[in-house]
Structure 1
């Protein structure tokens, strides 16, 4: 093929580019558990494999996921044993976090807004490590990606059809922990030009102020029989810096008549690591003044979400409501001069106010695992990537809240509950076995004690998706794992 043929094809391609295509480079940054991992010492994949049988084995056998535990070398900063191999491409399940949806739809959606697939960087990372470590790796990768993209022929083509014809810049699309990693990457103390080379940052359910679930994971089941998957998760996370970086940084611990911050000694008493907790607090304090250029947040709402916690004799109780502060930092009090608690809701993992760092917010009634996959979220991402100044509605009170167990026993009935439901008319609910997704099972909704409730049965061990559609057209989903009832899922704490 001669040079003239290449030039003719370039002109043809430029003419065919839709007006909405951006000349910018996009970086997709997944959340915790959102990157597939491989143990380089054994050559085996240790997280993110396809197939429900692998997930069941990983969480319900004593040796499953052993490679994910931090080693002494890794805690000392000697990394490289575990390598991230790509973004999650299969539905996965984790205790308390319920489910992680693949990022395939998100990447495919972004692909419709860029000039070439080469404009997209899928940044996989070892989410066990400190957010600060992964932030520097992301800064280096984003810089290299932008440089490569600016030299790509499609970049020049994309610039020609844009009104400003400016040089391409970076757009970060970050889910959950990925938003924290992105903020760390944009620390001007590391790459002083990366902020100016960034047009926008889109965060999807990022816990900027932390999540109570991180504390519950570290404490779950202490002193009582505990389900094996939950105990395994705590064992993995007890010395995991990445999980400690997700601990709540706001005043979340109810003590006496007030609410205070979690301390390193509190976390150590729960089963976590005091030094990692101190490191996380120092890290978050240093992040407060970092600006996210063109930041837009997509935030899950309407889902019952833990906001505060109480610790009694080493046992944690999580609360679906939390204290709120006045503009001067004091707590809002009731008429008896006691702290008043508000149920703010969120996405089931990150409560709404923890996920907001900007005034430009799109609220969607979604669960945490679905906030980077649901069609409504993808539409908001598309508008922002295409440089639309209106990233969707600023408020979203539609939809409903979904509460369901994360782990059930196959063949035995269990219940799910819907909140903020006034009528069952037009409300549908299905249970889908992800091994056979073409045949969802409809669930019958009834009223129980004034709450919309459905009884479901997972016929066999596996991973199941609960799908709820409300009369206003909102879809809310959650994943649940069904385990073999004959397997011993509970073990006494040592």
Structure 2
């Protein structure tokens, strides 16, 4: 998009330009972090070589681990300095895409850059803590915007010349932070001053991946990046706030909620799990004004889990309930399991909070960057509701490893594909974005696959375009050969 051509000019504001103030709230890992004691950036700095070093050396990312003071609520060592502006990578969570395209898209619908607040936050901390910080920041932002000359100009050309209100555009964990900010027990007027909330892939009921991250490395060797992530997250309140809050744990012929003891058994903190459960319970009464959910679908997504001797097995299907709350069972009175799918990280029903939903065939990291998602955000900002494509009838599912060895062949799998005609796949080294390498999809045992090789260590983007014109992408890290994990912890 050419910003100079699409950006409205002063005195020539089109009717679609909103007088509202917009707050962009990123997801976990979506804010750059700075260590105020060492005076060093510790997350989100540019450079693929930094990412490789951070995840594949024992000392990388240690400053992200929670200290005893931070666990007691004494924060300030780590400062959030901005939204992610470079592609990043995290084990299991795969790629974190920058928010530059999202912010640039929002600029085309507001009267001035001053209408946009990019709310960066320390995603390691509890969602409740960041919610209060967001409430304060949003209040200041709205006050400042209402006093801005461009606000008055925007009001004059609108059909409804009301004062500007707030619109939150929140990705992933950012939706939970936004809901916490709108707790009327903290700022009783913030809900009334909010026109709408747009959530992009927010796990309102949590994600099984959070439990898998906590259990990684217990009982079996895993590669260094995945083990490092568990070490960082084991005492991280923010990660515990993402644990499944729905009945996700299979136990015999039943499916029950995770308990603090379950979380402790897989390497997490029982106390942080207890706090997270209390927090989510207290959030149930909070309404999100004008809420619109944008949800990734058709991607294979973990929905249930089994715990055996501290080891987690994640399942791509889950139990579903009847209207009376009982589980759907088969004719033998056994719990039935269904593949609902989602965005690869958040399964579809966990991201649903209201009935106004846009379904898009996107991976979690791309649901705040893909053009189809950005178009939806634009329509909502300008006052329209886009119902999106019918559920389950668009795009395809993409499954690929999050970490590969440079020079060693691997495969990606595509689901929901009936024909290879007009299907295009490519692999792009982000260090050389102008040199994409085409991948050739083939049928293998009835499944569409595409062989691929990352020739050198680095960060790569997989891009798939389907016959119906949807783009599905995922980031994959290629490490030096032999980057296996030692048995001992860092």
- Looking at structure 2, the residues matched to 388 and 265 of structure 1 have their Cα atoms a distance apart, in angstroms, of 46
Q: How does 1:326-341 map to 2 (within 5 A)?
A: 326-341=322-337
- 1:216 pairs with 196, 212, 219, which one? 212
Following TM superposition, by how much is the alpha carbon of 1:335 offset from its aligned partner in structure 2, in angstroms?
A: 1.1
Match of 2:162 in 1: 166
> Match of 1:490, SS?
coil
Pick from 185, 201, 204 the counterpart of residue 205 of structure 1.
201
- Residue 14 of structure 1: how far off its partner (Å): 5.4
Match status 1:133 vs 2:129: yes
Q: How does 1:234-383 map to 2 (within 5 A)?
A: 234-383=230-379
**1:243-289 per-position Cα deviation (integer Å, ceiling 9, x unaligned):** 00000000000001100000000000100000000000000000001
Where in structure 2 are the equivalents of 1:2-81 lying within 5 Å? 15-81=11-77
In structure 2, the partner of 1:6 is: none
C-alpha distance in 1, partners of 2:115/2:167?
10
* Shift, 1:13, TM fit: 5.6
| 1:290 alignment partner, SS class | coil
Alpha-carbon shift at residue 395 of structure 1 (Å): 3.6
Report if aligned partners of 2:360, 2:388 keep a CA contact under 8 Å in 1.
no
Structure 1 residue 490: Cα displacement? 1.8
Partner residue, 2:433: 437
Aligned to 2:420: 424
TM-score w.r.t. length of structure 1 = 0.96
CA distance in 2, matches of 1:393, 1:15: 36
Q: How does 1:71-110 map onto structure 2 within 5 Å?
A: 71-110=67-106
Q: Deviations over 1:43-77 (max 9, x none)?
A: 10000011100000000000000000000000000
Aligned length: 482
The SS at the match of 1:202 is: strand
Residue by residue over 1:4-50, the C-alpha shift from the partner in whole angstroms, topping out at 9 and shown as x without a partner, is xxxxxxxx965400111000000000000000000000110000011
- Structure 1 unaligned regions, length at least 5: 1-11
CA distance in 1: counterparts of 2:347 and 2:366, whole angstroms = 15
Is the CA contact 2:297–2:391 (under 8 Å) kept in the aligned structure 1?
no
Matching residue within 463, 477, 480 for 2:476: 480
Counterpart in 1 of 2:182? 186
Corresponding position of 1:151: 147
Q: Work out which of the residue numbers 449, 463, 474 in structure 2 matches 1:453.
A: 449
Q: Determine the C-alpha separation between the residues in 1 that align with 2:385 and 2:10.
A: 24
Residue 490 (structure 1) aligned with residue 476 (structure 2): no
Given that residues 211 and 248 in structure 1 are in contact (C-alpha distance below 8 angstroms), is that contact kept between their aligned partners in structure 2? yes
Q: 1: CA distance between counterparts of 2:118 and 2:390? A: 28
Check conservation: 1:446, 1:454, Cα contact below 8 A. yes
Instruction: Pick the aligned partner of 1:407 from 390, 403, 414.
Output: 403
8 Å CA contact retained: 2:429, 2:461: yes
CA RMSD of aligned residues (A): 1.0
Conserved 8 A contact 2:26-2:170: yes
The alignment status of 1:176 with 2:172, answered yes or no, reads yes
Residue pair 2:127, 2:180 contacting (<8 A) in 1 also? yes
CA positional deviation for 1:220: 1.1
State which of 104, 115, 119 in structure 2 corresponds to 1:119: 115
Structure 2 alignment gaps of length 5 or more: 1-7
Q: What's the secondary structure of 1:226's corresponding residue? A: coil
What's the offset of the Cα at 1:397?
Answer: 2.0
SS in 1 for 2:110: coil
Deviation at 1:493, TM superposition (A): 4.9
Q: What's the offset of the Cα at 1:492?
A: 1.7
Matches of 1:460 and 1:201, distance apart in 2: 42
Superposed displacement of residue 389, structure 1: 3.5
When normalised by structure 2's length, the TM-score is 0.97
Shift of 1:197: 0.1
